[in-house]
Amino acid sequence: MDNESMKTTLDKILELLKKELSLMLRLYEHAEDQRKALKENLNAKAVADATEAADAALLEMEACEKGKVALLAEVEAATLGDALGRLPYSKEKMRARQYMKRLEELTEKLKAVIDTNQRLLAHDMSYLTFSLNVMTAASAAPGYGTPDAPEQATQGRKLFDQSI
């Protein structure tokens, strides 16, 4: 690779990393908004808005990933780290490495928030199922009636398979 093509490649990598970092920050903010709304338990609109915003950021991230795949195919590298490793030392290369490190840190933070959101959603779903079963007067299990009154031993109707 000549100097001009290396500089062009480095510029493309920096541009791609900046865009990825920006999108990842937006995605993290939306995930945090979603977490806060889920913790409130009564703000379904805020959860829906945060989810919709996160979906939009994910679509942009998908387009960015396609650009990354095209760039990696162009420079014949498996990862951006490999592509950067082939380039000579420069301030821009070190900046690109810093961006990559920041992306890794942000990805780990995002995974933690997403894990929390999944647990909150599972908890909310369990509570919702419990509440609906209570509202429909589901009995705990058949067999609690007396032998003289078998109609008392039948189970009430339930909306879901989980019993209370």
User: pLDDT tens digits for the chain (164 residues)?
Assistant: 677 888 889 999 999 999 999 999 999 999 999 999 888 876 788 888 999 999 999 999 999 999 999 999 999 999 999 999 988 999 999 999 999 999 999 999 999 999 999 998 888 788 778 877 777 765 555 555 555 655 554 555 555 555 55
Residue 144 within any structural domain of the chain? no
Residue 10 within any structural domain of the chain? yes
Which phi and psi angles does 145 have, rounded to 5°? Answer: -80, 175
Find out whether 110 and 20 touch, Cβ atoms under 8 Å.
no
* pTM exceeds 0.75: no
Handedness of CA 46, 47, 52, 58 (dihedral sign): positive
User: Which pLDDT belongs to residue 144?
Assistant: 54
Residue 86 within any structural domain of the chain? yes
Residue 155 within any structural domain of the chain? no
Length of the chain: 164
Residue 12 within any structural domain of the chain? yes
Rounded to an integer, what distance in angstroms lies between the CA atom of residue 4 and that of residue 48? 47
Find out whether 6 and 89 touch, Cβ atoms under 8 Å.
no
Rounded to an integer, what distance in angstroms lies between the CA atom of residue 151 and that of residue 128? 28
Residue 133 within any structural domain of the chain? no
Rounded to an integer, what distance in angstroms lies between the CA atom of residue 99 and that of residue 81? 11
Residue 51 within any structural domain of the chain? yes
Residue 132 within any structural domain of the chain? no
Q: Give the closest residue to 9 by CA, choosing from 69, 100, 72.
A: 72
Domain enclosing residue 15, as ranges: 3-118
Structural domains counted in the chain: 1
